């Protein structure tokens, strides 16, 4: 939402391009990563409930490698965004600006390859405060970085994209620092070894359906932005729909957070062999 505010102050074309780029990134990247990473959640929560702590770090390492591999074709897709959008009959000028935005968001593919697994790794142990603090730190840093790049250096839409990637990377850094310096990883950590290169099938088997469900949930929102680009005034329609989607995202976060908590709690019970006795204390 902060990025959308800055894009709107730069210009209508930039706001429309940013909205289209974010929609394309959500459809082809962020939703895919979010869904694939959810495949590790039942494995980790049940392992924690079953008192098999080392399995959590092994599953996280496998998930990180899995997402890094998936980021390669997704990155290629992002680089070809303008060509794809023009094939979908989007406005050429907006498509080119959107391609600039998403190109500078490519580091997010690396960032989220680590961020999603670490976040689930912590949540499935009942640890949530580090993620909240890291996200808050990233959001706070986002504003001065954008002010410097957009206002001081006059980098326009490029500055907003760079600021977004930098803030996400800082959020990941804050999260890793809290885990490492606070010793939160010690009870469940096992150093990476050759085991993380094998035994992927349980993770992949869960990641596929999870990814499909998340993508279908996200896509019908984001596809509306693409369809707005086919209207008579694509700049105004795409920009306004982008603002609307970002606003409704605030409401989406509440039930999504609750469902994550419920999923983790159920995983604890199943792992502990108590599916009918919800009295487990994390």
- Measured CA to CA, the distance from residue 150 to residue 106 in angstroms comes to 19
Q: Between 281 and 140, name the one with better pLDDT.
A: 140
How does residue 282 score in pLDDT terms, banded at 50, 70 and 90?
Answer: very low
8's CB contacts (< 8 A; 6+ apart) are 15, 239, 243
108-147 CB burial, b ≥16 within 10 A, e <16: bbbbbbbbbbbbbbbbbbebeebbeebbebbeebbeebbe
51-68 CB burial, b ≥16 within 10 A, e <16: eeeebbbbbbbbbbbbbe
Structure tokens at 269: 């019970």
Half-sphere exposure of 191 (CA within 13 A, CB side): 1
What is the percent of the chain where pLDDT is above 70?
Answer: 98
Burial of 2 per CB tally in 10 Å (0-12, 13-18, 19+): middle
pLDDT in tens, 234-255: 888 888 888 887 777 778 778 8
pLDDT in tens, 32-91: 999 999 999 999 988 888 888 889 999 999 999 999 999 999 999 999 998 898 888 888
Average pLDDT score, the chain: 88
- Measured CA to CA, the distance from residue 203 to residue 195 in angstroms comes to 13
- Asked whether the beta carbons of 52 and 190 are under 8 A apart, the reply is no
What integer pLDDT is reported at residue 36 of this predicted model?
A: 93
Q: What is the pTM of this model?
A: 0.88
């Amino acid at each position: 939402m902060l990025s959308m505010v800055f894009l709107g102050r730069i210009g209508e074309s930039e706001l429309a391009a940013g909205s289209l780029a974010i929609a394309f990134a959500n459809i082809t990247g962020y939703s895919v990563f979010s869904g694939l990473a959810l495949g590790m959640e039942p494995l980790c929560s049940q392992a924690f409930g079953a008192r098999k702590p080392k399995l959590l770090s092994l599953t996280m390492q496998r998930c990180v490698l899995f997402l890094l591999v998936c980021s390669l074709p997704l990155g290629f897709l992002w680089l070809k965004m303008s060509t794809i959008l023009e094939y979908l009959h989007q406005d050429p000028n907006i498509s080119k600006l959107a391609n600039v935005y998403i190109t500078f968001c490519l580091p997010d593919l690396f960032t989220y390859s680590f961020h999603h697994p670490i976040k689930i790794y912590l949540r499935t142990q009942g640890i949530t405060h580090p993620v909240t603090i890291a996200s808050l730190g990233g959001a706070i840093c986002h504003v001065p970085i954008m002010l410097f790049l957009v206002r001081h250096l006059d980098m326009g839409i490029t500055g907003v994209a760079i600021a977004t990637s930098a803030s996400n990377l800082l959020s990941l850094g804050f999260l890793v620092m809290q885990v490492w310096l606070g010793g939160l990883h010690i009870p469940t950590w096992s150093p990476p070894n050759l085991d993380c290169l094998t035994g992927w099938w349980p993770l992949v088997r869960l990641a596929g359906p999870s990814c499909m469900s998340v993508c279908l949930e996200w896509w019908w929102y984001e596809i509306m932005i693409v369809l707005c680009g086919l209207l008579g005034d694509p700049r105004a329609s795409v920009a306004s729909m982008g603002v609307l989607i970002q606003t409704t995202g605030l409401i989406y976060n509440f039930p999504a957070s609750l469902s994550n908590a419920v999923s983790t709690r159920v995983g604890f019970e199943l792992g502990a062999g108590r599916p009918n006795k919800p009295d487990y204390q994390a």
